[in-house]
């Protein structure tokens, strides 16, 4: 994977091709995947999705009561947005529950994409890495295209890739916590270790600056929900995240400078008025005498 600005054949540098996100062979121009839960109203949710420019939204399955129409109404709303859906297995605690939920989702939503969550603990909502791996293997064998919600651990990532996952979704911080990138070193390492695997930072993003920081590290996309849905103005915040993700992506492609410990003048030193090399040697005191 080479997302960076590269030679375009004319000897000048510039984007050689459109910067598209590819997930299981499908391409997208937006790098923001948005959740559809917790909005103040269905209308605000729909407006936020439009403002975000997201082309993929996450959805779920929940129990339907006798004669209930909540599912039909929600489906009608989502269908009207013209986006691709990524169903999740949120709330599943065992591989079996997750696999059955995925099978139900494939039938209801008509997609073999599944955001695979196997939760280890209700307080942290941390992924059960072993359960995740088992469920991923079963689902890949059953023809699913699995998007595993995982930690940033390299060994579990390797095993999920071996199992047939083509996209990985490391968490930034606990779901719904808004704490941002809890482990920047781990995320940076994961990115470096798997330069060719689409990596989506999923969960824990609170502010657009968090999303921008992840994109500046070279992550391929961001999946978030609460930070937009629970904002004072979800529609405006959806736009802010879209801007931040675009900026972070462009910055990464442009090549971010290496940090330095010491200052370095940005204004040319040559031709500085009142600057005399002999005096700079420090023979005389006074203003400027100590400058290098």
Residues that bind another protein (CB under 8 A): 35-39, 45, 58-72, 74-75, 78, 87-88, 90, 96-97, 100, 103-105, 107-109, 175-176, 225-226
Token pair recorded at residue 60: 């779920």
Nearer to another protein, 88 or 129 (CB): 88
- What is the nearest approach in angstroms of another protein to the Cβ of residue 236? 20
- What is the nearest approach in angstroms of another protein to the Cβ of residue 230? 11
Sort strands 32-35 and 221-224 into parallel, antiparallel or unpaired. Answer: parallel
- What is the nearest approach in angstroms of another protein to the Cβ of residue 142? 10
Nearer to another protein, 78 or 252 (CB): 78
- What is the nearest approach in angstroms of another protein to the Cβ of residue 106? 9
HSE (side-chain half, CA atoms, 13 Å) at 111: 20
Eight-state DSSP code of residue 67: T
> Whole-angstrom Cα distance, residue 184 to residue 180?
9
Nearer to another protein, 3 or 96 (CB): 96
Degrees, nearest 5: CA angle 22-24-28? 30
C-alpha distances out from residue 15 to 73, 191, 219, 259, Å:
42, 21, 18, 25
Nearer to another protein, 228 or 245 (CB): 228
**Residue among 115, 145, 230, 284 flagged as catalytic:** 115
> Whole-angstrom Cα distance, residue 275 to residue 271?
8
- Whether 115 is catalytic: yes
Token pair recorded at residue 76: 């009608």
Quickly tell me which residue has 């910055």 as its tokens.
251
The catalytic residues are 115
């Amino acid at each position: 994977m080479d997302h960076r600005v590269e030679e375009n054949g004319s000897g000048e540098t510039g984007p050689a091709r459109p910067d598209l996100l590819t997930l299981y062979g499908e391409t997208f121009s937006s790098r923001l995947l948005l959740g559809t839960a917790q909005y103040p109203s269905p209308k605000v949710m729909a407006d936020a999705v439009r403002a975000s420019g997201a082309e993929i939204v996450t959805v779920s399955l929940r129990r339907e009561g006798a004669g209930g129409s909540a599912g039909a109404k929600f489906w009608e709303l989502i269908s009207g947005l013209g986006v691709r859906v990524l169903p999740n297995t949120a709330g599943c605690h065992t591989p079996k529950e997750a696999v059955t939920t995925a099978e139900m989702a494939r039938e209801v939503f008509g997609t073999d994409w599944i955001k695979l969550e196997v939760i280890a603990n209700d307080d942290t909502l941390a992924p059960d890495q072993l359960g995740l791996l088992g469920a991923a293997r079963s689902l890949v064998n059953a023809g699913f295209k699995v998007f595993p919600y995982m930690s940033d651990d390299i060994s579990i990532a390797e095993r999920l890739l071996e199992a047939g996952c083509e996209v990985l979704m490391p968490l930034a911080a606990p779901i719904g916590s808004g704490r941002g990138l809890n482990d920047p070193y781990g995320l940076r390492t994961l990115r470096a270790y798997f330069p060719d695997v689409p990596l989506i930072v999923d969960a824990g993003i609170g502010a657009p600056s968090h999303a921008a920081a992840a994109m500046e590290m070279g992550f391929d996309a961001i999946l978030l929900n609460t930070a937009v849905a629970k904002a004072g103005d979800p529609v405006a915040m959806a736009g802010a995240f879209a801007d931040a993700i675009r900026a972070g992506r462009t910055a990464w492609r442009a090549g971010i400078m290496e940090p330095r410990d010491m200052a370095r003048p940005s204004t040319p030193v040559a031709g500085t008025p009142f600057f005399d090399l002999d005096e700079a040697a420090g023979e005389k005191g006074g203003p400027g005498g100590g400058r290098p």
